């Protein structure tokens, strides 16, 4: 197998789009469904996950030469758990209300498979710089998904955005969107939209590639 070399830009963009951890790989669904009931919660969770992801990738990649294969998972989880503890304590000290709203889910970042997957699939095999870029890409990919989910759920479920009321008093919030079923509905619709959009892009690319493009478009 030939080694596929990527550019730094590709390292970042991969996690944001083509290999988006949530929307494409369907990893880390627990926080995506559980804490996206408001934009503020989504943002805080994303910042914490981003910090843990980048920190862990940096450390794992820096010390990969000294970590024997047999204890690598134990060591990675220890590194991840340390960063999670730091994030947890910092959030509690700096933004107590948000920390209270996130509840147990900050601690659960330890078992977020996005993070362990990036360590195993990338940081353990690549240089520090590229591992950090890869982590930044995946972190942004996760953040974008969380913000999409959080915005839809807060606007429909509470009629507000970041706590600011968007509609008049006559608006009756769709409470279900802030409840767990709303998380599933929202994720389902977001994935559905992306699948439809991707199909459409593919079809358009095919039409453009066809020699008699105009005729094919008519047939389609």
Partner 1 sequence: MTSPPAHSHGAPPPTTPPAHHVSARSLLATLATAGAVAGLLIVVVFGWAAPIIEHNKALALQAAIREVLKQPADCDTLYLVGGRLTAEVPADADLKRLERVYLGYDEQRRPVGFAIAAGEPGFSDIVRVIFGYDPATKQLLGMKVIESKETPGLGDKIEKDSSFVRQFRSALTPLVGVKPERRNPEDRHQVDMITGATISSRVVIRTINNALARLGPVLDGYSAEGK
Interface with partner 1 (CB under 8 A): 37, 66-71, 74-75, 78-79, 81-82, 85-86, 89-90, 92-94, 96, 103, 157, 173, 175, 178-179
Task: Output 74 or 194, the one with its CB closest to partner 1.
Answer: 74
Cα 146 to Cα 36: distance, rounded to the nearest angstrom: 6
* CB of 104 or CB of 214, closer to partner 1: 104
Taking the least distance from each CB to partner 1, the nearer of 83 and 140 is 83
Q: Tell me, what DSSP letter sits at residue 125?
A: T
Q: Which is nearer to partner 1, 140 or 177 (CB)?
A: 177
Q: What is the DSSP letter of 172?
A: -
Shortest spacing between CB 153 and partner 1, in angstroms = 10
Alpha-carbon distance of 173 to 132, in angstroms, equals 41
Could you tell me the smallest distance in angstroms from the CB atom of residue 142 to partner 1?
Answer: 23
**Minimum separation from the CB atom of position 21 to partner 1 (A):** 25
What tokens appear for 165 in the block? 């009321």
Angle separating helix axes 39-62 and 72-94, nearest 10 degrees: 140
Q: How many CB atoms lie within 10 A of CB 77?
A: 16
Nearest to 52 by CA among 82, 29, 72: 82
Q: Identify any residues that bridge with 161 across adjacent strands, giving them in sequence order.
A: 164
Compute the least distance from the CB of residue 71 to partner 1, in Å.
5
Task: Report in angstroms how near the CB of residue 209 gets to partner 1 at its nearest.
Answer: 48
Residue with Cβ nearer partner 1 (75 or 143): 75
The kind and range of the H/E element at 164 are: strand 164-165
How many whole angstroms separate alpha carbon 74 and alpha carbon 80? 10
């Amino acid at each position: 197998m030939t080694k596929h070399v990527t550019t730094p830009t590709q390292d970042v963009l991969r996690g944001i789009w083509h290999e988006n951890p949530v929307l494409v790989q369907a990893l880390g669904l627990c926080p995506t469904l559980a804490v996206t009931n408001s934009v503020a919660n989504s943002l805080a969770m994303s910042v914490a996950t981003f910090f843990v992801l980048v920190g862990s990738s940096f450390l794992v990649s820096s010390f990969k030469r000294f970590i024997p294969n047999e204890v690598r998972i134990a060591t990675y989880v220890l590194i991840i758990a340390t960063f999670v503890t730091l994030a947890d304590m910092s959030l509690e000290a700096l933004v107590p209300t948000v920390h209270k709203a996130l509840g147990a889910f900050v601690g659960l970042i330890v078992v977020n498979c996005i993070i362990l997957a990036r360590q195993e699939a990338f940081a353990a095999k690549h240089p520090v710089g590229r591992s950090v870029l890869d982590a930044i890409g995946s972190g942004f990919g996760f953040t974008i998904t969380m913000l999409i989910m959080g915005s839809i759920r807060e606007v429909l479920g509470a009629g507000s955005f970041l706590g600011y009321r968007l509609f008049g008093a006559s608006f009756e919030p769709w409470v279900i969107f802030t409840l767990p079923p709303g998380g599933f509905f929202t994720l389902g619709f977001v994935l559905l939209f992306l699948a439809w959009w991707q199909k459409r892009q593919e079809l358009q690319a095919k039409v453009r590639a066809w020699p008699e493009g105009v005729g094919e478009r008519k047939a389609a």
